[in-house]
Structure 1
Amino acid sequence: MEKIFGKTQGLKKSELKKLSNLYRRRVPKERLLTPELAHTLAALSAEMGRPVALLLDREGRVVRVGVGDAKDLPLPEGARTERRLSGYRLLHTHLAPGGFSRPDLSVLFLNRLDSLAALEVEGGQPGLLHVAFLSPPKAEEEDWRILPPRPFHQYLDFDLWAEVNALEEELARQARVLEIQDGGRERAILVGVDRGEGPEAEAALEELAELTRTAGGVVVRKVLVYRLELDPRYLVGLGKLEELKSLAYHENASTLIFNLDLTPTQAREIEGATGLKVLDRTQLILDIFALHAKTPEAKDQVELAQLKYLLPRLVGKGKELSRLGGGIGTRGPGETKLEVDRRRLQERIVHLTHRLKGYAERREEARRQRRRRGVPLIAVVGYTNAGKTTLLSALARGGEPGEDKLFATLRPLTRRGFLPGVGEVLFTDTVGFIRRMPETLLEAFRATLEEVREADLLLHVLDASEDGALGRYGVVEELLRELSVEAPRVLALNKADRAAPYDLYYLQERLGGVAVSALKGTGLPALREALAEALLRAGVRPQAWAQYT
């Protein structure tokens, strides 16, 4: 007997047998239903006193039979294809007069059904038929289009195939237009959660948009959800997820990016409820690091951070929990695939940790040689995309050009420079900081950040044109305290040419610092003098020849 889904408790064996026989039915692919099927469903629903639901594929084959409402009938695994519609249609009975309920229409929309039909049952006979289709994704329209209810026999000649083809062609046309417009980049909806932070939550959402752009995505909509208590299963609640699903449909977005870290359960449940790719903030940052990792060390650091993030999120299900091996001589508990995956990840983590330790030892040797030469080291630190690399290029010989991207620099880039009254110095660039820096990244890059701890002086670069400059300054200083960095600082208020005069004056009043523009070269002589004075105050001895320059 074929499986019957839904509310089957209390049904007789004969009724279950009749339900199972529905799997043998076949409806022409261009028809909503046949007269025989309509009468069979009506009689069976009246006999049981319960609604009956059928899920049919594009060829008109019955692939699911259920008892209850439309929401009680699950779609097969892997039902979503590359097509805009799922390729399934749902036909169910209503024992009471009336049209579609909100849950019915949610099933149509959330599962991208080809069509949804509800057959009213009156005294064991088929009555009115209600039919609904998805609407093309236009923001000004409803998510669905409901046809006028009619006696079922008036819909027997309705051309379902033509309707579905026309809808898919329109969906594909609109998708092609957006794909050309965006250059094939991934379209994403950003979701921030305001737990009472107010402006800080808005700033964090703007930062998430910048991260998404750096990762190569297109931000089509930003949604800020006010919620003091997070839903342990859906984070922002199932109702809000349905709104996001609708928004994604109209904007042709395939990805939801949350500004909070999701638990493994939340990520799985949100993905299941929306059918969209789901990322959290840490995943997005890790992806950016992977995109910008060029050297072997940077690649190892990023891979280590990714594996440490992934390890607690390994969840087995279905075949993944089956035992490996089998047959004579292999019986016993064995290892699940989940256990094998976890063991392999742990082995890779140990291997990468050992390799990074080797990199750190070689870097420590380079530091010892530098200390023997007596050349002062200035570490350039700051919030990501503050212009650190561009400023280093302007101050040092052989610096690399910067990029208007977050985390464009992952490796410690060291270049020689000259300061009046001091002589030769070394400038070293570092990975940019960001608020709520993922712990896995801090651990992976801790050896690289040793350059900051060993520096004679820190050049803190702050983007003065950024609205939240003061907050970003605090984030960097807090992270430096966590790293136990005590070296003296010189603050460079970069991008002064783009900052509003009042904002620049306010920052100088609050923080001090030297206003510069690394791109245009303004303020650099004053910055060099400030760096030289700070090094001399810190006890750095000037090179003999430099005292006369």
Structure 2
Amino acid sequence: MNKVYGRTNGLKPSARKRLANLYRRRVPDDRLYTAELARTLAQLSYEIHKPISLLLDRRGSVRAVTVGDAREVPIPPMAYVETRLSGYRILHTHLGGGGLSRPDLSTLFLNRLDAVVALDVAEGRPTNAHLAHLVPPHAEEEDWRVYPARPYHAYLDWDFGAVLKALEEELAKAARVREMADGSGERVILVGVDRGEGPQAEVDLVELAELARTAGGVVVHRELVYRPELDARYVVGRGKLEELTTVAYHENAGTLIFGLDLAPAQAREIETVTQLKVLDRTQLILDIFAQHARTPQAKAQVELAQLRYLLPRLVGRGREMSRLGGGIGTRGPGETKLEVDRRRIQARIAHLTRDLEKYAQQRREARKARKRHGLPVIGIVGYTNAGKTTLLQALAKRGEPGENKLFATLRPLTRKGFLPGLGEVLYTDTVGFIRHMPADLMAAFRATLEELLDADVLVHVLDVSQEGALERHATVEDVLRELGVEQPRVLALNKADRADPYDVDFVQERLGGLVISATKREGLEALKQALVQALVARGVRPQAWAQYG
């Protein structure tokens, strides 16, 4: 027998059977309901003294029978598609009359239902019908259209199929307009949380926007929520989530990205309320790493980090576990492994760990070979997108140009260069750092970052054109201390050509350093001289022919 949901305690077996028999009813594709179904529903509701709700699909089949109001109907989750509605509608009874309630309209909106219909019941008979359906974003009215109360039989011949077709055509038209304006990127809403951090919370939200852009997203809205204590279930509270859902509908956005890490249960609850794809900061960073992984070693490192992140989240995840839809958070060498069982993932993790140890051994051998040649090594470190790769190219006068994206370089790059008065040196660029770097990524890339331990001197590249430069400098230094890197540093204040002179002076006054522009090759001679002095202080002797270089 088909299940009857909701408040079924105290119902007689005969009533339960009659309710279950509602699953056999069918409504024509283009109609809201039939006269027979409306009368049966009203009579049953009157007899049991409780409201009854039916969930119908577009074929007119009854998918769920619930004793209770619209909020209690179990609605199957849908993959968010901005040009379509869910394909479900709710028909339910109101014993006390009064039309559609606010919970009815919230259920309609949050689940992108085709429609909600309430039937007033008087002495076991249907009287008036109340109807509401969604309207396209940016319509002059609210998110929904509520029709005046009409006798229930007035809707029996109403061509609801034509209304749905016209509505989805309007939704598709609005989506095309947005795609032409913003490109074909995934439209996302960013949610930052200020837990008393002040200006740093705003800086973090700006950085989250840059991460989303790098991942290929189109940021249509940013929301910074002041929340000293997080909601254990909904993080920012259910009311705020409903506001964000309204914004998502009007902006045709299908993804919420939170600027903090979400527990699996929190992600699941947020998806249930919003019916949107939900990602956290770690998933976003993992996705960016997956996009930029090119070498076998980088791919193995990213896949290992992905699997370690997903392993404790395998049980009970929401739609974000499904990789059929694609988009941000779904890419990378590990994407075909996301739905395998725990044992296979653990075996894969063990296999990748062995592979990475082999890569690490190869890199150790390569470093030994470089040491035998006796060339001093200069490591280039810094916050992501600080201009490390561009500086490497400028100093070595060869190599690939940098990109204005976060984490554009994942593999260590080593290039030979020349320092006047000293001779040949090796420059090594590594993966950039970021505030609150995901622990799984740090663990996976530790062998790569160990390249820094063999450097004689480090160039710390700091982007002075970005707000929060002092905090970014502190983040990099914290990571270096965690790795046990103690080599002397030469601080390069990069992108000075893009920065306000006051900001450059402010940073230099507090941190020291040399002002440069890697793209315009300004200040590089002074930087080279500082590197020579640092290497000589470390005991590096000038090569005999260096004066002729």
Q: TM-score, normalised by structure 1?
A: 0.93
Unmatched tracts of structure 1, length 5 or more: 319-336
| Alignment match, 1:8 | 8
| Alignment match, 1:488 | 488
What are the equivalent positions in structure 2 for 1:79-478 lying under 5 Å apart?
84-138=84-138, 141-315=141-315, 341-478=341-478
How far has the Cα of 1:158 moved from its partner? 2.4
C-alpha distance in 1 between matches for 2:153 and 2:139 = 34
Secondary structure of residue in 1 paired with 2:225: strand
| Alignment match, 2:321 | none
Amino acid in the other structure paired with 2:518: A
**Number of residue pairs matched by the alignment:** 531
Moved more, 75-84 or 422-431: 75-84
C-alpha distance in 2 between matches for 1:177 and 1:259 = 29
The answer as to whether partners of 1:315 and 1:338 remain within 8 angstroms in 2 is: no
The answer as to whether partners of 1:56 and 1:62 remain within 8 angstroms in 2 is: yes
How far has the Cα of 1:200 moved from its partner? 0.8
Secondary structure of residue in 2 paired with 1:229: coil
Secondary structure of residue in 1 paired with 2:496: coil
C-alpha distance in 1 between matches for 2:245 and 2:294 = 36
How far has the Cα of 1:223 moved from its partner? 0.9
C-alpha distance in 1 between matches for 2:296 and 2:240 = 43
C-alpha distance in 2 between matches for 1:340 and 1:32 = 42
How far has the Cα of 1:133 moved from its partner? 0.5
C-alpha distance in 2 between matches for 1:308 and 1:2 = 40
| Alignment match, 1:17 | 17
| Alignment match, 1:329 | none
C-alpha distance in 2 between matches for 1:345 and 1:143 = 44
Secondary structure of residue in 1 paired with 2:342: helix
The answer as to whether partners of 2:307 and 2:338 remain within 8 angstroms in 1 is: no
| Alignment match, 2:42 | 42
| Alignment match, 1:529 | 529
Moved more, 266-275 or 371-380: 266-275
**1:253-294 deviations in Å (ceiling 9; x for gaps):** 111111111111112222222222111111111111111111
How far has the Cα of 1:40 moved from its partner? 2.0
Q: Residue 2 and residue 311 in structure 1: after superposition, are their counterparts in 2 closer, same or farther (change >3 A)? A: closer
Q: Residue 278 and residue 392 in structure 1: after superposition, are their counterparts in 2 closer, same or farther (change >3 A)? A: same
Q: Residue 378 and residue 516 in structure 1: after superposition, are their counterparts in 2 closer, same or farther (change >3 A)? A: same
| Alignment match, 2:512 | 512
Q: Residue 110 and residue 129 in structure 1: after superposition, are their counterparts in 2 closer, same or farther (change >3 A)? A: same
C-alpha distance in 1 between matches for 2:525 and 2:139 = 54
Amino acid in the other structure paired with 2:18: K
Moved more, 351-360 or 138-147: 138-147
How far has the Cα of 1:498 moved from its partner? 0.8
What are the equivalent positions in structure 2 for 1:534-545 lying under 5 Å apart?
534-545=534-545
C-alpha distance in 2 between matches for 1:89 and 1:4 = 17
Amino acid in the other structure paired with 1:453: L
Moved more, 174-183 or 512-521: 174-183
How far has the Cα of 1:86 moved from its partner? 1.3
The answer as to whether partners of 1:316 and 1:338 remain within 8 angstroms in 2 is: no
How far has the Cα of 1:399 moved from its partner? 2.1
Secondary structure of residue in 2 paired with 1:66: strand
The answer as to whether partners of 1:459 and 1:492 remain within 8 angstroms in 2 is: yes
C-alpha distance in 2 between matches for 1:181 and 1:480 = 43
How far has the Cα of 1:394 moved from its partner? 0.4
C-alpha distance in 1 between matches for 2:159 and 2:424 = 82
C-alpha distance in 1 between matches for 2:548 and 2:17 = 102
Q: Residue 197 and residue 140 in structure 1: after superposition, are their counterparts in 2 closer, same or farther (change >3 A)? A: farther
The answer as to whether partners of 1:85 and 1:113 remain within 8 angstroms in 2 is: yes
The answer as to whether partners of 1:139 and 1:250 remain within 8 angstroms in 2 is: no
The answer as to whether partners of 1:423 and 1:542 remain within 8 angstroms in 2 is: yes
Q: TM-score, normalised by structure 2?
A: 0.93
The answer as to whether partners of 1:86 and 1:111 remain within 8 angstroms in 2 is: yes
RMSD: 2.0
Moved more, 378-387 or 267-276: 267-276
What are the equivalent positions in structure 2 for 1:66-81 lying under 5 Å apart?
66-76=66-76
The answer as to whether partners of 2:495 and 2:516 remain within 8 angstroms in 1 is: yes
How far has the Cα of 1:83 moved from its partner? 6.0
Moved more, 231-240 or 375-384: 231-240
Q: Residue 175 and residue 286 in structure 1: after superposition, are their counterparts in 2 closer, same or farther (change >3 A)? A: same
C-alpha distance in 2 between matches for 1:254 and 1:244 = 11
Secondary structure of residue in 1 paired with 2:229: coil
C-alpha distance in 2 between matches for 1:218 and 1:143 = 23
Amino acid in the other structure paired with 2:454: E
How far has the Cα of 1:63 moved from its partner? 2.2
How far has the Cα of 1:316 moved from its partner? 5.7
Q: Is residue 52 from structure 1 mapped to residue 52 from structure 2 by the alignment?
A: yes
**1:50-103 deviations in Å (ceiling 9; x for gaps):** 001111221322222111101111124668779611111111011112122221
How far has the Cα of 1:547 moved from its partner? 4.9
C-alpha distance in 1 between matches for 2:125 and 2:344 = 61
**1:471-517 deviations in Å (ceiling 9; x for gaps):** 11111111111111110000111111111111111111111111111
Secondary structure of residue in 1 paired with 2:448: coil
| Alignment match, 1:546 | 546
C-alpha distance in 2 between matches for 1:161 and 1:25 = 18
| Alignment match, 1:324 | none
**1:514-542 deviations in Å (ceiling 9; x for gaps):** 11111111111111111111111222111
C-alpha distance in 2 between matches for 1:364 and 1:538 = 22
C-alpha distance in 2 between matches for 1:429 and 1:44 = 73
Amino acid in the other structure paired with 1:226: Y
Amino acid in the other structure paired with 1:314: L
Secondary structure of residue in 2 paired with 1:136: coil
C-alpha distance in 1 between matches for 2:419 and 2:139 = 59
The answer as to whether partners of 2:77 and 2:272 remain within 8 angstroms in 1 is: no
Q: Residue 437 and residue 340 in structure 1: after superposition, are their counterparts in 2 closer, same or farther (change >3 A)? A: closer
Moved more, 41-50 or 482-491: 41-50
Amino acid in the other structure paired with 1:199: P
How far has the Cα of 1:548 moved from its partner? 6.3
Amino acid in the other structure paired with 1:219: V
Amino acid in the other structure paired with 1:181: A
Q: Residue 183 and residue 109 in structure 1: after superposition, are their counterparts in 2 closer, same or farther (change >3 A)? A: same
Secondary structure of residue in 1 paired with 2:497: coil
Q: Residue 76 and residue 386 in structure 1: after superposition, are their counterparts in 2 closer, same or farther (change >3 A)? A: closer
C-alpha distance in 2 between matches for 1:26 and 1:300 = 53
Q: What fraction of aligned residue pairs are identical, expressed as a percent?
A: 68
Q: Residue 139 and residue 410 in structure 1: after superposition, are their counterparts in 2 closer, same or farther (change >3 A)? A: farther
